[in-house]
Amino acid sequence: MAESGIRRAVRQMYHASLNILVLLATARSAARRLLPAACVLLLVTGCATEKHQREAAKALREFYTSDFDEAARQYKPLAEKTDEDFVLNNVRLGTSYLMYYDLDEAEAAFLRAYEVINSVGVNNGGRSVGAVLVDEKLKIWKGEPFERAMANYYLGLIYYMRNDYNNARAAFENALFKLADYDPDDDKGSRKKRLESNFVLAHLMLAKCFQRLGRDDLARESFKHAKKLRPDLQNLLEYSWNESSNVLLVVEVGFGPRKMTTYNGAIAGFGPTPEEAGPVPLPAVRVDGRLLNLHDLNRPTIDLLAMAQDRKWQDIDTIRTIKSTIGKGMIAGGAIMVAKGAGEDGSRQRTDLMVGAGLLLAGALLEASSQADVRQWELLPRTVFLLPLRLPPGKHDITIEFPDDENLYQTWQGLEVPSNGEATYIFRIQRFNEGPHLWPAKGMRKHLPTTVPGTKFE
């Protein structure tokens, strides 16, 4: 009996080993047959993706060295491709053109992104399945909520700079939609109580739009609401101060948040944290060489590093987590089936082993392919200062400097300050962008008539 039992166990082990060998041999054979086709496809598609990534990285270098025109030139062909990076490349292109002061091109790029961001179902037609089963990067990038809000904010800023306050208002309202949050304690589904966004940058610009449109009631309400959200910006959010302002300086400093991954490709979160990056330096303004008293206007309206740390505004890693969880479950299920099959014999053993091995393989593939989507809008600044000022009408040389960091400054010469209304200028403070720059900016000149009497460009 004992000998028979041992013999039976040995036979079962032998059969199980053979089954696994057959499975591996078949897998190898299948892989061998599929490999050339798969390699060709992956090489072709992989090379194309890599090429686009290289081109985007090159354009990014140009942006960081403040050659915005060249960055835009390099982003343009990428932004024309209606692939999964269409929105991302268009917001990158729009940012580059905006910093170059080519507002027409910047508007066009941000509008293209805006239309897709505002659309639903853009990932229908196979992309959803591809994103879940193959690679999350197949989904059309629409950005995290704060990136969507910033795209709308930039679009609003472009319209504000052109004094198109109705469209600016609409864009800032849309920015706030993108960051709307809902009371987690209220479980009435889509009718959950709406919690107002504390994206004060959009609230302030919205209030200024209402002010310029003559809607004093709505302007006062927006200023009041923004003050409630950020009492530390009391002076900046003063109705009368903004009403009398005839120049608005938009100062962008630092670098926005980056997606950080762990060793196995999972998203660890956004970094660096505000603590790691240190305090935001505060700007000072020099007009025609004279330092202005800013009356505490120079407070940051946002800190995107802090904003990115807030999990309620993050929508990252959902697919990866689902795939990873399912993959782990399949591996566990496969292991159980293999263990069960090892103790059986006959056709049942073969079935269990096959199912187990299949689950193990599928689980491992799913787990291995659950890489995080780390695409991001890396041109965002860390913070934005809004400085509404009242200056004597005429042309002025304006320098933004940072007393805490003498390497950070930028000068524009001949900025025009109107007697009525408000002119808006954007200062992107970064390396190689110190100036002095001459107004009108280079990006504006190609849209100006070529023979304007009395106009001299640098």
Partner 1 sequence: MNAESGTMNSNGGSMRVAFPFIALRPAFIILVFLSGCAPSSAVSSGTNTALDSIDLTAMTDDMAMKIVADSDVQAEIASNGKLITVVQPVENRMRGEILPKGPADAFTARLRILLSKHAPDRFTWVMNRDAFYSLQSRERDTDLGPAPDRVQPEYAITAIFSSLTNEDVKRRSSYYLCEYQLTDINTGRLLWSDKYEVKKSAVKGFLD
**Residue 340 sits in the site that holds partner 1 (CB under 8 A):** no
3-class SS at 426?
A: strand
* One residue of 41, 57, 291, 368 binding partner 1 per CB under 8 A: 41
Q: Which is nearer to partner 1, 155 or 380 (CB)?
A: 155
Q: Which is nearer to partner 1, 121 or 289 (CB)?
A: 121
E strand residue ranges, 3-66: none
**Residue 56 sits in the site that holds partner 1 (CB under 8 A):** no
389 forms beta bridges with: 247
**Residue 82 sits in the site that holds partner 1 (CB under 8 A):** yes
Residues 403-432 that bind partner 1 (CB under 8 A): none
Q: Which stretch binds partner 1 (CB under 8 A): 63-71, 116-124, 293-301, 391-399?
A: 116-124
Q: Smallest gap, in angstroms, from Cβ of residue 155 to partner 1? A: 7
Q: Which stretch binds partner 1 (CB under 8 A): 35-43, 50-58, 70-78, 384-392?
A: 35-43
Number of residues binding to partner 1, judged by CB under 8 A: 75
C-alpha separations of 203 from 49, 219, 236, 450, 454 in Å: 39, 10, 12, 39, 41
Rounded distance, CA 203 to CA 214, Å? 17
**Residue 131 sits in the site that holds partner 1 (CB under 8 A):** yes
Residues 166-185 that bind partner 1 (CB under 8 A): 166-167, 170-171, 173-174, 177-178, 180, 182
Q: Smallest gap, in angstroms, from Cβ of residue 245 to partner 1? A: 24
C-alpha separations of 342 from 3, 17, 337, 354 in Å: 19, 9, 9, 11
Q: Smallest gap, in angstroms, from Cβ of residue 195 to partner 1? A: 11
Q: Which is nearer to partner 1, 248 or 354 (CB)?
A: 354
Q: Which is nearer to partner 1, 179 or 400 (CB)?
A: 179
| Order of strands across the sheet that contains 394-401 | 290-291, 284-287, 394-401, 409-417, 437-438
For residue 394, what are the contacts with CB-CB under 8 A and spacing of at least 6?
Answer: 416, 417
* One residue of 121, 214, 231, 289 binding partner 1 per CB under 8 A: 121
Q: Smallest gap, in angstroms, from Cβ of residue 22 to partner 1? A: 5
Q: Which is nearer to partner 1, 291 or 368 (CB)?
A: 368
Closest by CA position to 365, among listed 357, 375, 374, 373 = 357
Q: Which is nearer to partner 1, 315 or 404 (CB)?
A: 315
* One residue of 71, 98, 109, 138 binding partner 1 per CB under 8 A: 138
Q: Which is nearer to partner 1, 46 or 436 (CB)?
A: 46
Amino acid symbol at 384? V
Q: Which stretch binds partner 1 (CB under 8 A): 16-24, 260-268, 384-392, 434-442?
A: 16-24
Rounded distance, CA 329 to CA 202, Å? 44
For residue 92, what are the contacts with CB-CB under 8 A and spacing of at least 6?
Answer: 56, 59, 60, 63, 75, 78, 79, 377, 379
* One residue of 55, 60, 70, 118 binding partner 1 per CB under 8 A: 118
Q: Which stretch binds partner 1 (CB under 8 A): 125-133, 196-204, 303-311, 417-425?
A: 125-133
Closest by CA position to 308, among listed 426, 151, 144 = 144
For residue 410, what are the contacts with CB-CB under 8 A and spacing of at least 6?
Answer: 399, 400, 427, 428, 429, 433, 434, 435, 437
Q: What angle do CA 136, 271, 95 make, to 5 degrees?
A: 75
Q: Which stretch binds partner 1 (CB under 8 A): 92-100, 245-253, 340-348, 409-417?
A: 340-348
C-alpha separations of 48 from 43, 51, 151, 250 in Å: 8, 5, 27, 38
Whether 308 contacts 268, CB under 8 Å: no
**Residue 23 sits in the site that holds partner 1 (CB under 8 A):** yes
Q: Which is nearer to partner 1, 282 or 365 (CB)?
A: 365
Residues 346-385 that bind partner 1 (CB under 8 A): 346-347, 349-350, 354, 358
**Residue 293 sits in the site that holds partner 1 (CB under 8 A):** no
The two tokens of residue 411 are 């000068």
Rounded distance, CA 407 to CA 21, Å? 66
**Residue 35 sits in the site that holds partner 1 (CB under 8 A):** no
